[in-house]
Amino acid sequence: MHAAALSHLADTPMILRSKPSFKDIIFAINGSILPRIAWHLVAMTVLSVIAIFAAREHPGIFARISAIPFTLTGIALSVFMSFRNNACYARWWEGRVLWGELIIACRSFARQTAALGDDDRRFLLHRLCAFTAGLVARLRGEDEPAAIRRWHDTDVDAQSPNPTNDVLDGIGRHCLALVREHRIGEIHYSVLEGQLAALAKVQGGCERIALTPVPFAYSLLLHRTALVFCLMLPFALAGSLDWWTLLPVLLVAYTFFGLEALGHQLEDPFGLDPNALPLEAMQRTVEREMLSVLGHADLPEPILPRDNVLR
């Protein structure tokens, strides 16, 4: 069952690179936002060329378009964009903190079951793996009951509004049964219940992030303003800079469109974009450690970065 449970992991990447070298700054594509905005830059190049030829054919046609308003607007737009990206990064970092707490709670729960029999301990730790798998699927909008069944040896209620939380409820009921059968004490039960409460808090925090996006009007306003700014800029510069217009236009477009695209990726830390959190790698960490606690020697391989991408 375990091989089947661990072979399904999808390819969700997270970029892992150290401080870029000069070579990386000039040539690196993998790990940059460039592939996501390439067509935006192509469109800006075409528009700039059109503006340059128009300025050459009709000298002075853009003479009344001053670059000064663009300087003031650009400063305001960059400040506005930094606020949005900070908000998106805060969501991404909170998601990472929550998954760190999930791993800690699973480790603590596993350690606190050391006095239980093998069957009880296997039941509980397999359920932790089921909870983790279900949470990944829930945050991604995937088949939650199917993900849970890979570790759950009983039927999962596909009609339940929250199958992942049902797994935690099942663990809690099993722990309560151990108390009633006098196999653990009430203090021991309260300790285990504390870890389950921590896992429930993690799930609630992740759901809050996933179900509460950055306000649409906020993102739309930023995107529209950046688009209009970049579309108008070539016409303000073509008359005076000629072919040099391409340099500032593409630099500004790369910065503004790149920051907007990066903020969009960070806004959903549990998604499938290159800068999303590597949920599969963290899920594999929980599964490896729970199986190790149960004495399994044939642990699945950890998911490692490949070409600076952790999946």
> pLDDT digit string (tens) for 53-103?
998 888 877 767 777 778 878 888 888 888 888 999 999 999 999 999 999
**Pure H helices in the chain:** 2-6, 22-27, 34-57, 68-112, 118-140, 144-149, 163-180, 186-211, 216-241, 246-267, 279-293
Is the Cβ–Cβ distance between 139 and 270 less than 8 Å? yes
Is pLDDT at 13 greater than 90 in this prediction? no
pLDDT at 305: 66
| Both tokens assigned to 136 | 């990944």
Q: What's the rounded Cα separation, in Å, for the pair 140 and 47? A: 38
Question: What is the average pLDDT across 200-215?
Answer: 94
* Whole-number percent of the chain with pLDDT over 70: 87
> Which residues partner with 309 through β-bridges?
15, 306
Q: How confident is the model at residue 29 (pLDDT cuts 50, 70, 90)?
A: low
- What is this structure's pTM? 0.83
Q: Check whether 28 has a pLDDT greater than 70.
A: no
The chain-wide mean pLDDT, for the chain, equals: 85
pLDDT at 158 over 90: no
Q: Which has the minimum average pLDDT: 10-24, 36-50, 270-284?
A: 10-24
Distance CA 249, CA 64 (A): 19
Over residues 105-125, the pLDDT tens digits come to 999 999 999 999 999 999 999
> Residue 310 — pLDDT band, cuts 50, 70, 90?
low
Cα separation, 29 vs 41, whole angstroms: 15
| Residue 206: pLDDT over 90 | yes
Q: Which residues of 194-216 are buried (b: 16+ CB within 10 A; e: fewer)?
A: ebbebbbebbebbbebbeeebee
pLDDT number for residue 220: 85
d(CA 124, CA 133) in angstroms, rounded, equals 14
pLDDT of residue 12: 42
Band of pLDDT at residue 25, cut at 50, 70 and 90: low
